[in-house]
Amino acid sequence: MSKRTSKYTIEEKVDMIHQVLSDHQSIHSVSNYYQLSSHTIEAWIHRYETAGVDGLKESRGWKHYSEAT
């Protein structure tokens, strides 16, 4: 069974996000520099904007949903 782990630390992800949001670099230029898909950085930005730094943490188990969901 494989474990999903990120190649990048949370600090590195936040740095990349800040390069796009604060330093006004394009997602394309940041993704090329780090050799990532631009979709990955877009997803990280979305998770960061909705859940903060905690949204960038990797899931460590199964998600449990209530029956109402």
**Sequence spans of domains, the chain:** 16-53
Determine the pLDDT at residue 1.
Answer: 46
Q: How many CB atoms lie within 10 A of CB 10?
A: 14
pTM of the model: 0.77
Burial class of residue 2, CB neighbours in 10 A (0-12, 13-18, 19+): exposed
pLDDT in tens, 44-57: 999 999 999 999 98
